[in-house]
Chains A and B, each alone.
Chain A
Amino acid sequence: MSRLRDRLLRHRASAEEVMEEPSADTASPVDADAASVEGMEEAEHETLSPLWEGLDVQLTDTANGSFLRREAKYPLSYQHGLHRLEELRASVKGLAAFRAVSAVERNRTIRQEQFDAANRTPLDPEKVLFLDLETTGLGVGTGNVPFMVGIAYMSGEAFIVEQMLIRHPAEERAMLTYLCGKLPGFTHLVTYNGRTFDWPLLLNRLILNGFRKFTWEPLHIDLLHPSRSVWRNTLVSCRLSHVEEERLGITRDDDVPGSLAPAIYFQFLADHNPQPLLGVFRHNETDMLSLACLAIRFGHLLAGQLGAYVQQRPESEELLRTGLWLEKMGAMLLAEPIFAQLADDGSASPACLLMLAERDKKCGNWTRAVLLWQKVVHAAESSLWPDWKAHIELSMYYEHKTKQIQSALSLAETALSLAQKRYLGLRLDAKRREELEGIRKRIDRLRVKIGRLSG
């Protein structure tokens, strides 16, 4: 042994890839092993070391061993940020629209009839499960272990957050046994980024731990997707912790960032002091509550409660994107008033109006599209470095739809002068050159057309 270790250490000393230095304050690994074996024996005796005091965990036994569980009960009147947990009952109705969610993910718009049909099917709020994992690494490779599984659900007059923790990786099987007993009681799964992370990872763990035959096929609602649809540009990041702070009115004190969770867990594995894990428990617990509030928010939106239960934001782009998202989810009737409001709103940004015009153009609502482009063109006159996309759009409209070639030409010429003004003093890269070239070609073509008409 010592010979091999010597060799390994010698290699390591010169190997480029430096493994992490063991920190000085950890117990020696020999002790650690002894302690972990002790820990397991203790488990068999159904007692938990006093070190765990203050973490509110309880030992949970299964046919495949034991693990720790922590349970927190919130009354439904509990207010987390802007929302109360009891709002879940009402907003769940809206969440039913996610029934056809897989179509949305394939980037298809759901029809209003489908939306209505989904809404007619009652959704039991107690059948919705919220899930969030804390794992030892990144990615969904087979070596990434969820050391903590948080689930939450409504039960009677309470909202319950259950958190499972494994004291060492050998307890994973016990934890999964418990989880597999729980899951089939629910019909809906709500996560944040769970489609690409939490859920596939959990499936990995089930396969690895001998639960290959276990099946549970809930309707999976990943709230990251609507969050991105709505806040893509108005929030700097769509991380849950950022979204909740900016839009759900939630502030966390002394939060342990999720990125530190693996290191804290590794430290616990090395020194067996569970106290720092409390921070991870709390972080995960808050995540679960925020997840519920986010579900409430999107549920309200789908139930037509914008402006009532959900405050309307001043950012016109956010409002527009909310409308576009509702439209994509099949709630056409909820989206249209938003669009109408934006079209009338004098303060909406040109970029926003252009986006709405683009939407109108696609679905053939030319009247409003033209109106919006004209608004933007008009606004350009009083702006310092205006954009010329509306000029081009309008020019195309006049050329092809109404055959007003002269108007089309003058708009294209204005567009060219705006573009030249904007690019003055800037290096003309290939893209810009191409853009200018495109406008010139348009002008030339229009001039030829005019010549032909007059000649």
Chain B
Amino acid sequence: MNRWTGKASGLEEWLQLLKGQPEIMANVTHWHTIPPREPRTAAMPQDIHPKLAEALAGRGIERLFVHQAEAYLAVRKGDHVVTVTPTASGKTLCYNLPVVQSLLENGSGRALYLFPTKALAQDQVAELQELAAAMDVDLKTNTYDGDTPPTVRQIIRNAGHIVVTNPDMLHSAILPHHTKWVKLFENIKYIIIDELHSYRGVFGSHVANVIRRLKRICRFYGSNPQFICASATIDNPREHAERLIGEDVSLIDNNGAPMGEKHFICYNPPVVNKQLGIRRSSVLETRRLAASLLRQGVQTIVFARSRVRVELLLTYLQELVKDELGTKTIRGYRGGYLPKLRREIERGLRNGEIRGVVSTNALELGIDIGQLQACVMNGYPGTIASTWQQSGRAGRRQGTSVTFLVASSNPLDQYMIQNPDFFFNRPPERALIHPDNLLILIDHVKCAAYELPFERGEKFGDEPLEDMLEFLAEEKVLHHAGDRWFWMEQSFPAHGISLRSAAQENFIIIDRTEGSRVLGEVDRFSAPTLIHEEAIYIHEGVQYQVEKLDYPEKKAYVREVDVDYFTDANLAVELKVLHVDKERETGELLRQYGELTVNAKATIFKKIRLGSHENIGSGPIHLPEEELHTSGYWFSFSEEAAARKSTNDMQQALLGLSNVLVHIAPLYLMCDPQDIRVVPQVKAVHTKRPTIYFYDRYPGGIGLSERLFEVHDKLLSQAKSLIRACSCLSGCPACVGPIEEVGLLGKSLALDLIEQAEIVG
């Protein structure tokens, strides 16, 4: 029997026991203890309505944490506010307090709450309704989303004091029908935007435009609402809030909430093959740590980076603890599960029936699952901000909590685990949005024109509005008469525009094992590599094989199978540069930023055995090519540099270098690694030279590669130091890639290439 499983009396003792185990401690690269934090409070403000004060007192709130008091005062002063505090710091009171107070003072006022997901909206409504009940006042709070029954909708439109919705609903249902919401828009005092950090990238850029439209409609009805935003820790909360809402904001980040002691343990799986630089699988190590915690009775959340990993870990963990806990106490959680199932899991976590959950970053957001005691991350979540968010899922106001970060062998993970200072001492990433992405902007100009004609002199975004209006008039979408531009088309523009992803429609997955039922969905970009025919799709730990992919109808039909492998697909990519916007030449390097088109096609898939991860077969994928028009950044080496290496060597050097770059690029971008792509070419069509391309995986680009163009020098020097510092002999998955991929000399070739280019520069 494993010594680990001997029960300890609590988490503290378990951690002590852990320290006495050399075979574990040898892999712990860093043990960071965050001391408990005492609460800092302020008196309840004088002007708080007695009913509200009484209701709060009834819940044990006699005094406010300092950040709550500061937020209240700033809002009362009339400022737009963004609060930035960690999980479980009582941030909802930062906005609920001034909103409810204002509604108690004036019952005709209105507030609009925006949450990125329906689940968060429902949590919030429940909380506000409890508060209203405790105060015994008629404060109508309702969610307004796709699930709201038509009969209730009209009542909410006219009488709801607080309407809780999501940006998608605002975009496609509320704003285009604003005349039905006269009461709301005439009287709106506050707009609450929670989970501000989640509005980044494409989604954030869309949402910024939806907010432009919202403000425009408010102006039409003569209201000028105040924004109260709340965000998880990011590097640029104020800047991000200001870009998103287009107003100056006050930043409140003086967190006064208490926190129990917190252990943050970095764990690097041991090297099992020094020559190849192969470490033991992070999935297996995660399983070991999580199983030990679960057996100990510690409620634990496990985060994994991909859906496939979630399902793998879920299967493993359910298997390990089924005799002690039963499989139903360990659940999976990810996008693609249907809402009803998710609600059930959230409830189970709150009431403690579910002891463990394996999740993608879907649970990173503030969905109420209570506070757990332990968190195990399988792989670095990609950003510092996400890491803190995920880690924040474990940790209570009192008592100890622990977070394990189990590194995978990818270069970014290895970099982080070997340089913990980078993580603990560096501010988290910046949230980037690009609301003036032309394609996104023009979509919202259309929606805005549908809602209200544009007048000469109006502003909408930073691109010249009149040019866009003229363009749309030429396209016969708008009609220009006098000083105004009117929507003049039969369609309803918001229906064709999805805020969430370039994939405007999802593929649904239908299980035909018995009858047919909808299992889940995947976005269009992922479909060719995840649910091509013969792919193994894993859902709730069960394997399904895709029998038929109906591409035009966007449906995949699957059947349950029991096989010992999973599948992994290859994507072939072709690039064409359309236009160069920026250019800089340093030494042997020419770097450019501009527009390009990308043609991507899934070609083959591999079957990989579970456990050993060996390749046991492959097959072709027959799917149409996807075309993407986006912005990109690329750098090419001079002909001299090219001449110094054979084509083959150059190929491997470029490949090695791009493997490193693709992993460290997210250090500078708050984006999912999937949002940016890297492609090396020995002789690029555009430059005729060896070139490495980066591009934004969204039509029109969202500013990611532009930012990379700017940090190019830092990017390369970081890549260089990472390759140099790697302990492997000649390339490993943690730096340039395994030697099977980049060859025996891959590491030195890549280093060579980068050093020569730099020396000359």
A positions within 8 Å CB-CB of B = 1, 4-5, 7-8, 10-11, 13-17, 19-20, 22, 29, 32-33, 36-37, 40, 136-143, 145, 168-170, 203-204, 207-208, 212, 262-263, 266, 269-270
Contacts and interface: CB of A to CB of B under 8 A. Distances in A.
A175 to B, nearest CB: 14
Contact of A143 (B182, B484, B487, B699): B487
B439 A11 contact: yes
A200 B451 CA distance: 15
A270 B481 CA distance: 12
Contacts of A139: 492
Nearest to A23: B476
B140 to A, nearest CB: 23
Given A22-B475, A141-B450, A143-B489, 5 more contacts: A14-B629, A17-B496, A169-B479, A262-B490, A263-B490
Interface in B431-470: 438-439, 442, 449-453, 463-464, 467-468, 470
B481 A142 contact: no
Given A15-B629, A22-B474, A142 B452 contact: yes
A4 B488 contact: no
Nearest to B217: A142
Contacts of A5: 467, 471
A141 B474 contact: no
Given A142-B179, A170-B481, A170-B484, A137 B489 contact: yes
Contacts of B475: 19-20, 22
Q: Which of B451, B476, B627 has the most CB of A within 10 A?
A: B476
Kindly list the 3 A-B residue pairs having the minimum CB-CB distance in the complex, ordered from nearest: A143-B450, A14-B629, A169-B486
A321 B562 CA distance: 58
A142 B450 contact: yes
A136 B453 contact: no
Q: Which of B463, B470, B496, B627 has the most CB of A within 10 A?
A: B470
A92 to B, nearest CB: 32
B548 to A, nearest CB: 22
Interface of B: 176-179, 182, 438-439, 442, 449-453, 463-464, 467-468, 470-471, 473-477, 479-482, 484, 486-493, 496, 578-579, 595, 597, 627-629, 699-700
Contact of A269 (B176, B471, B488): B488
Contact of B177 (A8, A19, A138, A140): A140
Given A11-B438, A138-B492, A20 B476 contact: yes
Contacts of A143: 176, 449-451, 487, 489, 492-493
Contacts of B179: 142, 203-204, 207-208
8 contacts: A8-B442, A11-B699, A17-B496, A29-B470, A32-B480, A169-B479, A207-B179, A208-B452
Contacts of A20: 475-477, 489
Nearest to B699: A15
Given A141-B492, A142-B451, A14 B467 contact: no
B629 A10 contact: yes
Contacts of B699: 11, 14-16
A8 B481 contact: no
Contacts of A137: 489-492
Q: Which of A1, A8, A33, A141 has the most CB of B within 10 A?
A: A141
A33 B439 contact: no
Contacts of B700: 11
A232 B653 CA distance: 74
Nearest to A259: B490
Contacts, number: 120
B182 A15 contact: no
Given A22-B474, A143-B450, A14 B597 contact: yes
A29 B182 CA distance: 35
Contacts of B482: 36-37, 40, 170
Contacts of A203: 179
Contacts of B449: 143
The A interface, classified by DSSP as helix, strand, loop or mixed, is helix
Nearest to A166: B481
A16 B491 CA distance: 16
A8 B699 CA distance: 12
Nearest to B487: A143
Nearest to A6: B579
A262 B490 CA distance: 7
B479 A269 contact: yes
B464 A142 contact: no
A11 B629 contact: yes
Contacts of A4: 438, 463-464, 467-468, 471
B490 A136 contact: yes
Contacts of B439: 11, 15
A17 B629 CA distance: 12
Contact of B481 (A7, A15, A36, A138): A36
Nearest to A3: B467
Q: Which of B453, B477, B628 has the most CB of A within 10 A?
A: B453
A268 to B, nearest CB: 11
A274 to B, nearest CB: 16
A10 B182 contact: no
Contact of A136 (B438, B464, B489): B489
Contact of B476 (A7, A207, A270): A270
Contacts of B492: 137-139, 141, 143
A41 B374 CA distance: 75
A278 B275 CA distance: 85
B480 A33 contact: yes
Given A7-B438, A10-B595, A15-B699, A168 B452 contact: no
B471 A136 contact: no
A415 to B, nearest CB: 29
Nearest to A29: B474
Contacts of B474: 22, 29
Contacts of A32: 480
Nearest to B489: A137
B176 A142 contact: yes
Contacts of B487: 143, 145
A265 to B, nearest CB: 8
A40 to B, nearest CB: 6
Given A4-B464, A11-B439, A168 B629 contact: no
Contacts of B496: 17
A20 B468 CA distance: 16
Contact of A1 (B177, B467, B479): B467
A37 B484 CA distance: 12
B219 to A, nearest CB: 14
Q: Which of B468, B490, B595 has the most CB of A within 10 A?
A: B490
A127 B593 CA distance: 70
Nearest to B449: A143
B490 A169 contact: no
Nearest to B448: A143
A262 B463 CA distance: 31
Contacts of B453: 169
Q: Which of B177, B477, B628 has the most CB of A within 10 A?
A: B177
Contacts of A208: 179, 452
